[in-house]
Structure 1
Amino acid sequence: MTTTEDILLQANNVRHKKSDGTLFLMSERIGWLMGSKDTFSVSYKYSDIKMQKISPEGKAKIQLQVVLHDGGASTFHFNAPDGEEAQKRDRDAVKELLQTLLPKFKRKVNKELEEKERLLRENPALLQLYQDLVITRIATADEFWEQHAAEFINKTSCKQDVGVSGAFLADIKPQTDGCNGLKYNLNVDTINSIYKTYPAVRRKFFEYVPGRMSESEFWTRFFQSHYFHRDRINLSSKDLFTDCAKQDEKVIQGELEKDLEDPMLDLRRMTDTTVGDGYGTSTDTPSSSQTNTANISMIRRFNQHSMNVLKASLAAEATAQPAGQPQQNGHASGGEPSAPAGPDLAAKKARLEERTCYADLEAPVPAAGQALSLTKVERYLSGPTPDAPRPAAEPPSADAAGRLCQGVRRWQPFAARVLDPQAAVSVLGDLSPGGALMKTSHKERNAAADLPDQVKTELAAIYRSAGELLRHFWTCFPVSTPALEEKVAKVQDTLHKFHQLKIRQFEDGLCRQAGLGPDVTAHLNQMLAAAYAKYEQWRSVRRLQR
């Protein structure tokens, strides 16, 4: 046992597989040491442990079982000589400490496995490909998820960013704990909303957690702080979030000093004025003494909340915007502001019209009629005139019958161009089913259609898997990078294994069961042969280039 590990708990008289020893709970693993040895006979990391189980009440043996993620398990029998109470006390101490340690070391791999299991369950074609490649050991699981299932993982990895609700803090309803205290239940979305709205709190969190305090203690002090209840007058010097309000005040002051491009927005104005006696023409503004300090603080907090939400949205759009596209507001990166473009002027004009024009006070716009385009006005005024009747043409039936009779009289057979009877019979035999020019008979042509349903299902699965492998193979060409060279070699090797282990076995089964030849898989063999020829051609060209 190494001396560099911190021992959190030591339980003596613990039996494992009928051998006595000592159970140790350390900072990163649990280990059992046989009494006569100096090395651990059993040692598991907390990240490898899935759960723990204890023996039910009333059982003669006081046991604790550790279940691993791979399905394995180890049972420890507490056999203290002081009796059953001491045995239960030792077992409960180990159980409670494991309950505290296991959530901290919960592996993220479990979430990945659950996500992969969900993808296989929701995509039958992907599941069939997994069974054809991974179960038969044609390809490893890592190669499968990296090469053949990357597009499914990329579809699920795109998550929509959740916005910030204006009342997310008000929606956090505390619950009484029965001891004159309040209990707040926070989820991930609420914590992310706090981070977006109050960046200073996010910085404090990473500064103090987990080095100086726990996460629960941090959020308890946050809800008790003056920064959260900022309407309170008294400011404690011991408050953890005292400097957060000062930092936010500096940020707001910096935003006020910037030249805002929106003429309809004035963040410096902290008074709410309405049309008074002067009907909007009076220039008298209330003095600072008449303005309530609480109202000013509230307005500044609302402005800061809106600015933080807009900054988070603009930051997300900036990361999603591809490089080389023009930036907003007509500013070039690192240069002087350019003249506003046409759409900006149109948007500004639309905002001004929205502020100054009211649709309910405007006169109704008359409906525009459809304009007529007349080339001759007199015809439109006088109306259509009936056309003069035309004499009916004589039917050409008599003339056609005469020409047909003359053609029949002059017709002569071309006996020199007609095949002799023996050659005609030979050609007819060659073109009949089973002839020399008809290589497959009608029965053989319908052999694939008469296959059993189970064979059809297996053939369709092989076609899907082969098509997926061939798709990855042909997308590697032209092979222009070392990564593509490595990929085309791996896919080529996978194709050979798939051909030998799946298609060959399927063909042998067809010959034994249905008595069919290789005609059923002829198309599959042609596709694979084309891929093999392409790979050999690429290798020969590559050797010549070297």
Structure 2
Amino acid sequence: MATSSEDVLLLVNHVRYKKNDGTLYVMDERIAWIMEGRDTFAVSHKYVDIKMQKISPEGKAKVQLQVVLHDGSSSTFQFVNPLGVQQQLKDRDDVKELLQQLLPKFKRKVDKELEEKNKLLSENPSLLQLYKELVMTQIITPEEFWKNHAAQYMQKQQQADQQRVGVSGAFLADVKPQADGCNGLKYNLNKDIIESIFKTYPAVKKKHLEYVPHKMTEAEFWTRFFQSHYFHRDRSYAGKDVFAECAKHDEQDLKTAAKAVESNPLVDLSQFSDTSVGEGYGDTPDLPSTSSSFSSSHAMIKRFNHHSMMVLRACEEGDKDQSESTPNGLLSSKVAVNGDSHHPPIGKKAKLMEKLQYEDLEPLESTSMVKINYSHIERYLHGPTLSGFQPPHPCDSESDERAGHLAYMLEELQMWRPDIQNVLTHSVALDALRDLSPGGTLMTASHSETSTQLLTEDLKKEMVQLYLSLSELLRHFWACFPATTPQLREKVTRMKETLERFEMAKVIPFQEKVRRSHTVPGDVSAHLHSMLKAAYYKFASWQQKTAIAPKIR
């Protein structure tokens, strides 16, 4: 329960957490939840650790409040007051408003870079273990660790962050209005939807910069946007409409894009009605209709085309390295076809061939091969043969000699008897095998090679981590050679000092721990010491050469 020094600012009953009912406490420095029939808090979060709070959207069956922490975890509380939904909403809003007053007082500004590093360590266990081995033991500094030993992980994270989220083609359709009970509609806009509107319709962004907050508020601007004819599908440009200029700009933009598109003799983009009769077969061109239904369909089709064009343009502008976008938002491949004077316009015949021919059904192109001329084809077909070869006759002398040798060998095998008098007995043989096996009296010199098999699981894991950490340090040490620049000379000196600290802080304590266990004969850390000695010897020889070099000059 809460201590006497804590003041309970708000107490809300009938709050469910993970399918258990209980009571929610909002106190001076923390928010806590206790299960019914218990006397200790099951959930307790200090305001310093809370990053934000979220509430369930209106109209949802469950009335919930979620508390999100800085480490990424969260706790969701559901309000289940038996008096009804209105009382549940009131309880939730009371907690929300009180938290809105308390959280800014305890809000902790967490560095964005620190959050990225924590996320990176949590997603890479090997990097986290390396951090514990090198940084937490004060062998190297955190700055040096992130600069040298985690650079590749940071680059991967930056590349992942640089991936830009595209614009959904139905982002406006997802904005579903809700009735507010007063013959009005309420639109819920978030930051992503507003950003998508700005990316797709730069004219709206320009108007936003022009009017907000100088002439109207943010809410008033978006209210006028959804009330305007610019948002609705049937646009009739009113003089007082703020967005009338945007609609006219879109109309001009669509005409410019239609002129710049690649001409296709099989498709007439200016026609708005379907026809099944081709050109030159008695079909008359469509006459423009003056009916209201046609004008409405005409405007709707234009708007769909313009919306699709603007979505593609927003995606192309974010990927200028791969394909350059034109002012009207068309693909660069189409512009290259139109702008290149060396390629004539594609004619109707070429378009027909493109529709009729498929690469998958085309015959494979024959590759040019070297033609071989044979003087004797039968040699190539039957292979080499010995000229004048005759099979041996059964009465031939050579065959008789082979048959005699075979008969002699068979006779010797039948008469052979093993001589097992001068061999060891089974007990002596087992003793000799035991002495010559790993750990035997005659195999004392080979303990260092097989002693790792006698280590416990904890010592094995610790030894593996030592190898990983030492290999990482040695990789940077040996990469400094040849030390031709002042930066490399400074780094190799620093890495040698780091290796010495690692040996004193990690290798030697591990060696003493294994020695105290009395379960492993020999020195299992001999190879670790040999790698360190090789690095020390290299550093000493490099220092000697650098000291002699100025004297020779």
Quickly name the TM-score band, shorter chain normalised: 0.5 to 0.7
Which residue matches 2:456?
Answer: 452
Q: Is the 8 A contact 2:47 2:103 kept in 1?
A: no
What's the TM-score, normalizing by structure 2? Answer: 0.57
CA drift at 1:162: 4.0
Give the distance between the partners of 1:115 and 1:491, measured in 2 at CA. Answer: 27
Which residue matches 1:304?
Answer: 306
Q: Is the 8 A contact 1:256 1:267 kept in 2?
A: no
CA drift at 1:512: 3.3
**Residue 172 of structure 1: which of 149, 156, 175 is its match?**
175
SS at match of 2:135: helix
CA drift at 1:318: 3.0
CA drift at 1:460: 0.8
SS at match of 1:318: coil
Give the distance between the partners of 1:307 and 1:145, measured in 2 at CA. Answer: 44
Give the distance between the partners of 2:323 and 2:210, measured in 1 at CA. Answer: 31
**Residue 402 of structure 2: which of 396, 399, 406 is its match?**
396
Give the distance between the partners of 1:235 and 1:120, measured in 2 at CA. Answer: 57
In structure 2, do the counterparts of structure 1 residues 204 and 511 end up closer, same or farther at CA, with 3 Å as the change threshold? farther
Once the two structures are superposed, what CA deviation does each residue of 1:449-504 show, in whole Å capped at 9, x if it has no partner?
21222211111111111222333444455667777666655544433322221112
Give the distance between the partners of 1:464 and 1:277, measured in 2 at CA. Answer: 73
In structure 2, do the counterparts of structure 1 residues 526 and 93 end up closer, same or farther at CA, with 3 Å as the change threshold? closer
**Higher mean C-alpha displacement, 534-543 vs 155-164:** 534-543
In structure 2, do the counterparts of structure 1 residues 475 and 284 end up closer, same or farther at CA, with 3 Å as the change threshold? same
In structure 2, do the counterparts of structure 1 residues 55 and 482 end up closer, same or farther at CA, with 3 Å as the change threshold? farther
Q: Is the 8 A contact 2:455 2:519 kept in 1?
A: no
Give the distance between the partners of 2:291 and 2:392, measured in 1 at CA. Answer: 99
Give the distance between the partners of 1:201 and 1:153, measured in 2 at CA. Answer: 37
Q: Is the 8 A contact 1:510 1:517 kept in 2?
A: no
CA drift at 1:511: 3.1
Give the distance between the partners of 2:153 and 2:240, measured in 1 at CA. Answer: 53
Whichever residue aligns with residue 458 of structure 1, its letter is E
Give the distance between the partners of 2:485 and 2:457, measured in 1 at CA. Answer: 44
Alignment partner of 1:503 is 2:507: yes
Which residue matches 1:520?
Answer: 524
In structure 2, do the counterparts of structure 1 residues 65 and 94 end up closer, same or farther at CA, with 3 Å as the change threshold? farther
Alignment partner of 1:224 is 2:178: no
Whichever residue aligns with residue 149 of structure 1, its letter is A
Once the two structures are superposed, what CA deviation does each residue of 1:199-231 show, in whole Å capped at 9, x if it has no partner?
223344455566776655544443233321252
Q: Is the 8 A contact 2:454 2:519 kept in 1?
A: no
In structure 2, stretches of 5+ residues that fail to align are 13-25, 31-45, 51-93, 325-331, 364-376, 382-389, 410-435
CA drift at 1:350: 8.6
Which residue matches 2:203?
Answer: 200
Give the distance between the partners of 2:307 and 2:217, measured in 1 at CA. Answer: 27
In structure 2, do the counterparts of structure 1 residues 108 and 454 end up closer, same or farther at CA, with 3 Å as the change threshold? closer
What do you get for the CA RMSD once the two structures are aligned? 5.4
In structure 2, do the counterparts of structure 1 residues 246 and 351 end up closer, same or farther at CA, with 3 Å as the change threshold? same
SS at match of 1:396: helix
Which residue matches 2:142?
Answer: 141
SS at match of 1:271: coil
- Counting only pairs closer than 5 Å after superposition, residues 140-159 of structure 1 correspond to structure 2 as 140-157=141-158, 158=160
In structure 2, do the counterparts of structure 1 residues 280 and 215 end up closer, same or farther at CA, with 3 Å as the change threshold? farther
- Counting only pairs closer than 5 Å after superposition, residues 307-386 of structure 1 correspond to structure 2 as 307-320=309-322, 328=333, 331=336, 337=340, 339=342, 352-353=352-353, 355=355
Give the distance between the partners of 2:104 and 2:535, measured in 1 at CA. Answer: 54
CA drift at 1:171: 2.5
What's the TM-score, normalizing by structure 1? Answer: 0.58
In structure 2, do the counterparts of structure 1 residues 443 and 499 end up closer, same or farther at CA, with 3 Å as the change threshold? closer
Whichever residue aligns with residue 402 of structure 2, its letter is P
Whichever residue aligns with residue 125 of structure 1, its letter is S
Give the distance between the partners of 2:487 and 2:216, measured in 1 at CA. Answer: 46
CA drift at 1:128: 1.2
CA drift at 1:115: 4.7
CA drift at 1:349: 9.0
Which residue matches 2:257?
Answer: 255
Give the distance between the partners of 1:130 and 1:294, measured in 2 at CA. Answer: 65
Give the distance between the partners of 1:191 and 1:395, measured in 2 at CA. Answer: 102
SS at match of 1:55: strand
Once the two structures are superposed, what CA deviation does each residue of 1:275-332 show, in whole Å capped at 9, x if it has no partner?
359875435342475794333332332222232233334334432579xxxx846959
Which residue matches 1:121?
Answer: 122
In structure 2, do the counterparts of structure 1 residues 442 and 290 end up closer, same or farther at CA, with 3 Å as the change threshold? same
Which residue matches 1:55?
Answer: 9
Q: Is the 8 A contact 2:467 2:528 kept in 1?
A: yes
Which residue matches 1:271?
Answer: 272
Whichever residue aligns with residue 497 of structure 1, its letter is R
- Sequence identity percentage: 39
Whichever residue aligns with residue 174 of structure 2, its letter is D
Give the distance between the partners of 1:215 and 1:518, measured in 2 at CA. Answer: 76
Q: Is the 8 A contact 1:330 1:338 kept in 2?
A: no
Give the distance between the partners of 1:242 and 1:251, measured in 2 at CA. Answer: 14
Give the distance between the partners of 2:543 and 2:240, measured in 1 at CA. Answer: 75
Q: Is the 8 A contact 2:8 2:27 kept in 1?
A: yes
Q: Is the 8 A contact 2:131 2:145 kept in 1?
A: yes
In structure 2, do the counterparts of structure 1 residues 116 and 279 end up closer, same or farther at CA, with 3 Å as the change threshold? same
Q: Is the 8 A contact 1:270 1:299 kept in 2?
A: no
Q: Is the 8 A contact 2:179 2:185 kept in 1?
A: yes
Q: Is the 8 A contact 2:199 2:314 kept in 1?
A: yes
